[in-house]
Structure 1
Amino acid sequence: MTTAPHAPHVEIALPRSWSSERDPARGLLAAARSREVPPSGFAPELTLHSTPVEATLEEWRAASIADLAGQVVDLDVEDTDTYDVDGVAVSYVRFGHRVGGRDVVSEQWAWRVDGVGVTLTGTVARVDYLDYGDLFEEVAATVAFVGDRAA
Structure 2
Amino acid sequence: MTRLLDLTIALPPRWRRRSDPDHGVLVHARAGGVPPSGTPPELVLRCTPVDEGLNEWRRAAHAELGHRLDGFDLEDEDAFELEGRPVVYARFAHRLGLAELVSEQWSWLVGRTGITLTGTVAREDYADYCDVFEAVAATFEPGTRAA
Q: Tell me what 1:21 maps to.
A: 18
Q: Distance in 2 between matches of 1:149 and 1:42?
A: 32
Query: How far has the Cα of 1:112 moved from its partner?
Result: 0.5
Q: Tell me what 1:2 maps to.
A: 2
1:2-151 equivalence runs, <5 A: 2-4=2-4, 7-8=5-6, 10-147=7-144
Query: How far has the Cα of 1:86 moved from its partner?
Result: 4.3
Alpha carbons of structure 1 residues 86 and 122: separation in structure 2 relative to 1, 3 Å:
closer
Query: How far has the Cα of 1:101 moved from its partner?
Result: 1.1
Whether the 8 Å contact between 1:114 and 1:148 is mirrored in structure 2 is: no
Whether the 8 Å contact between 1:48 and 1:118 is mirrored in structure 2 is: yes
Alpha carbons of structure 1 residues 52 and 149: separation in structure 2 relative to 1, 3 Å:
closer
The letter of the residue matching 1:112 is: L
Q: Distance in 2 between matches of 1:35 and 1:73?
A: 26
How high is the TM-score relative to the length of structure 2?
0.95
Higher helix share: 2
Give secondary structure in 2 for the equivalent of 1:40.
coil
Gaps (5+ residues) in structure 2? none
Q: Distance in 2 between matches of 1:83 and 1:18?
A: 28
Query: How far has the Cα of 1:114 moved from its partner?
Result: 1.1
Whether the 8 Å contact between 2:113 and 2:146 is mirrored in structure 1 is: no
Gaps (5+ residues) in structure 1? none
Query: How far has the Cα of 1:99 moved from its partner?
Result: 1.0
Whether the 8 Å contact between 1:88 and 1:149 is mirrored in structure 2 is: no
How high is the TM-score relative to the length of structure 1?
0.93
Query: How far has the Cα of 1:69 moved from its partner?
Result: 1.2
Q: Distance in 2 between matches of 1:55 and 1:146?
A: 20
Give secondary structure in 2 for the equivalent of 1:69.
helix
